[in-house]
């Protein structure tokens, strides 16, 4: 299938090939072109369920961004029972500069603030998706410092159900908060759950600003598990990845 790509925010563009790790692993020239223009969203498949996959809220967390590109290439050759929206680079400018924040601001604390990049992502998800999974990486000794899945129980119990499924499948730590938004107000996951759109955050272990095949592969596996939960792809595909 041919993916459809468009820009949902024009205030975030950057030349991601200027990041040496991205340049090493990324072969999709079309995504490079769109990332220069802003935040690209890639649509694959059609119909329901509709799941959104996001990466690059923090520009220096590279494995999920490269995994999201790999996911796009993988899904192009799959029969999908539903729709997948993929944002591989939420803030291409931050990815280009290999920095966590965009213009000094943490986008994962601003999703509830009108006009911010993550607010654009949130609004797109609310109008297009049935669930969202946001992908990050964490350093050993950091927070959470190990492969983990964040979720919450209230007000959207489906977040906890999805998070539990992913954590069990990949043998990751489940970090569940009783109520969304209490600890991480403005986080994309939390703001989705506060609006009854089931969402989770998935973390793999990697040094900031770096990526290797192992960390990319783990993040890619997390993404595949999410899609298998919704039966968009068949679970037997997971066994061969």
Q: How confident is the model at residue 122, as a pLDDT?
A: 99
Give me the pLDDT at residue 109, please. Answer: 97
Contact 174, 198 (CB under 8 A): no
**Average pLDDT along the chain, 241 residues, taken 10 residues at a time:** 92 95 85 96 98 98 98 95 98 98 96 97 99 98 95 98 98 97 94 99 97 96 98 73 56
Instruction: Give the angle subtended at the CA of 29 by the CAs of 26 and 35, to the nearest 5°.
Output: 85
At residue 241, the pLDDT reads 56
CB of 30 closer than 8 Å to CB of 211:
no
Q: Which domain holds residue 35?
A: 4-232
108 part of a folded domain: yes
Overall domain count for the chain:
1
Q: What is the pLDDT of residue 2?
A: 85
- Residue 29 domain-assigned? yes
Burial, 66: exposed, middle or buried (Cβ in 10 Å; 0-12, 13-18, 19+)?
A: buried
CATH of the domain at 52: 3.40.630.10
In a domain, 35, yes or no: yes
In a domain, 32, yes or no: yes
On whether residue 238 sits in a domain, the answer given is no
- Is residue 239 one of the residues assigned to a domain? no
**Which burial class, exposed, middle or buried, applies to 86 when counting CB atoms under 10 A from its CB (0-12, 13-18, 19+)?**
buried
Residue 109's alpha-carbon distances to 49, 189, 237, in angstroms, are 28, 10, 35
pTM of the model: 0.96
Both tokens of residue 9? Answer: 């925010």
Give the CA dihedral 231, 155, 85, 108, nearest 10 degrees.
Answer: -140
With respect to residue 103, please indicate whether it lies within any of the assigned structural domains.
yes
Indicate whether 77 belongs to any domain: yes
The single residue listed with the structure tokens 């492969």 is 147
CA distance 189 to 192: 5
């Amino acid at each position: 299938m041919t993916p459809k790509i468009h820009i949902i925010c024009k205030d975030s563009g950057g030349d991601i090939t200027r990041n040496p790790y991205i340049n090493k692993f990324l072969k999709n020239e079309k995504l490079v072109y769109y990332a220069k223009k802003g935040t690209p969203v890639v649509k694959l498949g059609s119909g329901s369920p509709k799941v959104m996959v996001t990466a690059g809220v923090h520009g220096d967390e590279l494995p999920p961004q490269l995994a999201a590109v790999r996911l796009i290439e993988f899904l192009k050759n799959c029969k999908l029972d539903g729709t997948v929206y993929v944002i591989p680079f939420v803030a291409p400018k931050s990815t280009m500069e290999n920095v966590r924040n965009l213009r000094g601001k943490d986008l994962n604390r601003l999703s509830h603030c009108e006009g911010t990049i993550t607010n654009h992502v949130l609004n797109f998800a609310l109008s297009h998706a049935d669930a969202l999974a946001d992908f990050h990486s964490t350093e050993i000794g950091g927070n959470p410092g190990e492969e983990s899945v964040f979720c919450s129980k209230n007000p959207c119990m489906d977040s906890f159900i999805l998070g539990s499924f992913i954590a069990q499948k990949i043998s990751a730590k489940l970090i569940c908060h009783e109520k969304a938004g209490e600890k991480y107000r403005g986080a994309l996951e939390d703001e989705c759950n506060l609006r009854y759109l089931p969402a989770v955050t998935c973390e793999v272990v990697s040094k900031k600003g770096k990526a290797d095949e192992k960390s990319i592969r783990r993040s890619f596996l997390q993404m595949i598990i999410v899609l298998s939960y919704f039966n968009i792809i068949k679970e037997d595909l997971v066994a061969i990845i």
